[in-house]
Amino acid sequence: MAWYRRVEIPIILTAVFCLFQLVPYFVVVPAWESAAKDFVDWDAVMETFALFIGFTTLLMLHGRIASQRRRGWYWSAWILITMIGYTLIGIPIPALGLGKGTKLFEAIRLYVLTPLSGAMYASLGFWIASAAYRAFRARTLEAGVLLLSGTLVMLANAPIGTAIWPRLHADKKMDLRRSEHVDDESERHWSSPRSPSPRG
């Protein structure tokens, strides 16, 4: 086997670079921290190039499914249309009104992608109800106590709990739309009234 195809090489590289990132958390060496940050920047560049791999694999896969009219080919056709369309809209050609930050690009992001994400996140409530109905059974005393305490915690965090009993309320207030680290990009995203809560 050629030396560059040996399994040990990626394992060693992974171990070295992981340690390189991990040690600055425990040992303060400014030069080391700077080098670790540079590696993170390199990773960002690698991920950008990896986008081409993802684009190509999606084109190959869904193009084949759609062209062969296999089961569910219309979904593949839709993926191709949206993927290629949004990619073309994102190409930076200001003269044509294309590119990141342009009206069309932002309109799709704010009025299509963000509400879709919000809808998916909101559907979690139904998934939780379905899982709870199936899984929550008070078969033992301990399970019953856990169920009761969980019910009280949920009521305390919902307005209906305070409406039922005014003294039942959570002490802390959570602002689900803000996080401590806000930059311009996320500020524009979260300032939209349609933005969903942060992923959790």
Partner 1 sequence: MAEKCAELGTRLYVPVRQLVIWPIAVELAETGYKKAGRPEDFNPTEQVRYLSSDQFGFSSNYMGWMWRERAAANIMVGAYWAESLQLAETGARIGTIQVGGTANIHQIPFFVAACDYALIGEEIFCAGAYLSKDAEMIGSLAGQDMGKLLGIVLILLGVIFVTAGSDILTKILSW
Q: Report whether 62 contacts 80 (CB < 8 A).
A: yes
Amino acid letter for position 50: A
Report the alpha-carbon distance of residue 7 to residue 170 in Å, rounded: 53
Q: Which of 34, 67, 87, 130 binds partner 1 (CB under 8 A)?
A: 130
Query: Following DSSP, what letter does each residue of 116-147 receive, concatenated?
Result: HHHHHHHTHHHHHHHHHHHH----SHHHHHHH
CA angle 83, 189, 79 (to 5 degrees): 15
Q: Which of 20, 32, 78, 136 binds partner 1 (CB under 8 A)?
A: 136
Q: Which of 26, 141, 175, 185 binds partner 1 (CB under 8 A)?
A: 26
The 34-53 contact track toward partner 1, x by CB under 8 A, reads: ---------x--xx--xx-x
User: Can residue 3 be called a binding residue for partner 1 (CB under 8 A)?
Assistant: no
Sites for partner 1 among residues 137-196 (CB under 8 A): none
The 82-121 contact track toward partner 1, x by CB under 8 A, reads: -------------------------------x--xx--xx
CA angle 10, 3, 6 (to 5 degrees): 40
Report the alpha-carbon distance of residue 155 to residue 157 in Å, rounded: 5
* Residue 171 CB, nearest approach to partner 1 (Å): 20
Report the alpha-carbon distance of residue 54 to residue 177 in Å, rounded: 31
Query: In Å, how far are 22, 28, 41, 163 from 17, measured between CA atoms?
Result: 9, 17, 13, 54
Q: Which is nearer to partner 1, 146 or 164 (CB)?
A: 146
User: Can residue 31 be called a binding residue for partner 1 (CB under 8 A)?
Assistant: no
Q: Report whether 90 contacts 99 (CB < 8 A).
A: yes
Q: Which is nearer to partner 1, 57 or 191 (CB)?
A: 57
* Residue 19 CB, nearest approach to partner 1 (Å): 11
Q: List interacting residues with partner 1 (CB under 8 A).
A: 26-29, 43, 46-47, 50-51, 53-54, 57-58, 60-61, 64, 71-72, 75, 113, 116-117, 120-121, 123-124, 127-128, 130-132, 134-136, 199-200
